[in-house]
Amino acid sequence: MHPNPAFRQTPAARNIAFAREVGFGMLCVNGPEGPIAAHVPFHLSPDATLADLHLARSNPIARAGLPLPALIAIQGPDAYISPDWYGPHEQVPDQVPTWNYIAVHLRGILHPLPAQALEPHVDALTAEHEARLLPKTPWTSAKMTEGAMPRMMRMILPFRLEIHAIEGTWKLNQNKPADVRTRAATALSSRSALSGPARIAAEIRADLAANQQD
């Protein structure tokens, strides 16, 4: 996480909402032979104190001697920022390239869960993301042939991150004047609407608008 306090002023509720929106991150633990990482979907509890997830039985983290301290790193959009976008050099001199990005870390202790916790976890995770696809009729495990779901779930195991801290970095040129940030957002907007840069541009504008209201 970037140490500059200017990039770490986002309210806790926004960090939680972002983690819930993405619902996918890199789970990291320190195993017997060094760091281990796995890319996992997770289901955040309503109060954001727990993140339930699952791993393949063969995943090294599943055999790492839990419980262990762990971190889920949730990566948001990112974009290279050219100093040319800040304005003419004589107006904004001696600037250097940088990188804007959004990232949230969930830090805590990873515990194994009993086998009977797996089915409710999978159902909750699926329901959360299917709800975002409305008006499509949500998919449920009831659509599978009898016995197929239990057979597939034998290949995965349930886990829970007991969250002790939530840390967020929203690096959106907050250390620059508003006019400079606006020019950077305009330059980013000219790029693909589906890319990280366009999302960063939108977040810069949202942050500017929020600050103007304060």
Q: Is residue 45 part of a domain?
A: yes
Q: Is residue 202 part of a domain?
A: no
Give me the CATH number covering residue 32: 2.30.110.10
Q: Is residue 90 part of a domain?
A: yes
Q: Is residue 191 part of a domain?
A: no
- Residue 70: count of CB within 10 angstroms of its CB: 24
Maximum Cα–Cα distance across the chain: 71
pLDDT value for 195? 65
Q: Is residue 211 part of a domain?
A: no
Q: Residue 45: which domain range?
A: 5-175
Rounded to two decimals, the pTM is 0.86
First-to-last alpha carbon distance for the chain, in angstroms, is 26
**Nearest-angstrom CA–CA distance, 122 and 165:** 24
Detail the DSSP E strand segments found in the chain. 24-31, 34-44, 50-56, 68-81, 98-112, 156-171
- Helix, strand, or coil here: 186? helix
Q: Is residue 39 part of a domain?
A: yes
User: Scanning the structure block, which residue is given the tokens 């040319």?
Assistant: 84
Q: Is residue 206 part of a domain?
A: no
**Nearest-angstrom CA–CA distance, 173 and 131:** 34
pLDDT tens for 33-76 read: 899 999 999 999 999 999 999 999 999 999 898 999 999 999 99
Q: Percentage of the chain surpassing pLDDT 70?
A: 97
Q: Rounded mean pLDDT of the chain?
A: 92
Q: Is the pLDDT of residue 11 over 80?
A: yes
**Nearest-angstrom CA–CA distance, 49 and 105:** 13
Total tally of structural domains belonging to the chain: 1
pLDDT tens for 164-182 read: 999 999 999 999 999 999 9
Q: Is residue 114 part of a domain?
A: yes
**Nearest-angstrom CA–CA distance, 56 and 29:** 16
Q: What is the DSSP secondary-structure string of 83-140?
A: GGGG--TTTS-S---EEEEEEEEEEEEEEE--GGGHHHHHHHHHHHHHGGGTTSPPP-
